[in-house]
Each structure stands twice: as C-alpha cells, then as structure tokens.
Amino acid sequence: MSVEPGIPSVDNESLEDRLYTVKYEDPGDSHLDVTIPGICAEKCRTDDCAAVCPAGVWRVGEDGVPEIAYENCLECGSCRWACPHGNVEWTYPDTGAGVTYKHG
Ligand code: SF4
Ligand code: SF4
C-alpha cells in the first residue's frame, strides 16, 4: 500500500497505540461532571456516557453514578450528546490544558 508523503500510516496500530500518541496537560480539575447524580443512580438504565466514550473516561459504579477519569478525555464531545437525560456537564479544559494530538 502506498502512503502519501506527510500522512502517517495507521496500519496495524491498535486503539491503545493511537491513544498513546495523545498528550494531555492536566488542568488540575475536571472539565466533566454529571449535573444531578441522582438521575444517574435512579433513572438511567443505559449508561450511554460510558458506552460511547472511546477513551474509557466514564466508569459507572455499583451505585449507578459514574466516576470520571477526565485526564484521559479526548474532547470529542460524544458523552455530552449521548446522555439521554442531558445530565453531562461538559466544558473545554482551561486554555493551555487538555488534549494535544500528535498529528493535528
Ligand atoms: S448516560 Fe447520563 S444519566 Fe446515564 S449514567 Fe451517564 S451521565 Fe448519568
Ligand atoms: S468528550 Fe469524548 S473522550 Fe471525553 S469523556 Fe466525553 S466521550 Fe469520552
């Protein structure tokens, strides 16, 4: 397979390999949250935030409320739109913090 100059090949790279190329500057505080934890615990049956996140940021515990590993966030915004209850608080990290992609 030919590869165009300047365009990196991603052949044979796993998702983990690609995530390893992402750099993250920790803002020191989460830019993600749930608005009302009780909605997660008592109303949500689908945990879509966890299902759609490509980086495994959302882990729903036994109490039904997600723990949020914001340090791994790719800032794709999927969780914000996936939550059927509009219960995701989502902002970009402070300027200068957050994710940096190696290839743009
Ligand atoms: S999808 Fe929304 S309501 Fe359900 S656990 Fe995630 S944040 Fe909570
Ligand atoms: S913005 Fe994307 S990567 Fe970040 S927590 Fe939401 S779904 Fe995961």
Q: Which domain holds residue 74?
A: 31-92
Nearest CA to ligand 1 atom 2: 83
Within a domain: 46: yes
Count CB atoms within 10 A of the CB of residue 41: 15
Residue 78: CB within 6 Å of ligand 1? no
Over residues 39-95, the pLDDT tens digits come to: 999 999 999 999 999 999 999 999 999 999 999 999 999 999 999 999 999 999 887
Tell me if residue 75 falls in helix, strand or coil. Answer: coil
- List the CATH number of the domain containing 39: 3.30.70.20
In a domain, 2, yes or no: no
Residue 73 within a domain: yes
CA dihedral 20, 50, 29, 64 (to 10 degrees): -140
Q: How far is CA 80 from CA 14, 18, 53, 72, 84, in A?
A: 25, 23, 10, 16, 9
Q: Report yes or no on 100 lying in a domain.
A: no
In a domain, 38, yes or no: yes
Determine the distance separating the centroid of ligand 2 and the alpha carbon of 12, expressed in angstroms.
Answer: 24
Asked if the structure places residue 36 within a domain, the reply is: yes
Q: What's the 80 CA to ligand 1 centre distance in angstroms?
A: 9
Ligand 1 in reach of 98 Cβ (< 6 A): no
Asked whether residue 65 is assigned to any structural domain, the reply reads: yes
Quote the number of domains for the chain: 1
Structure tokens at 3: 């590869």
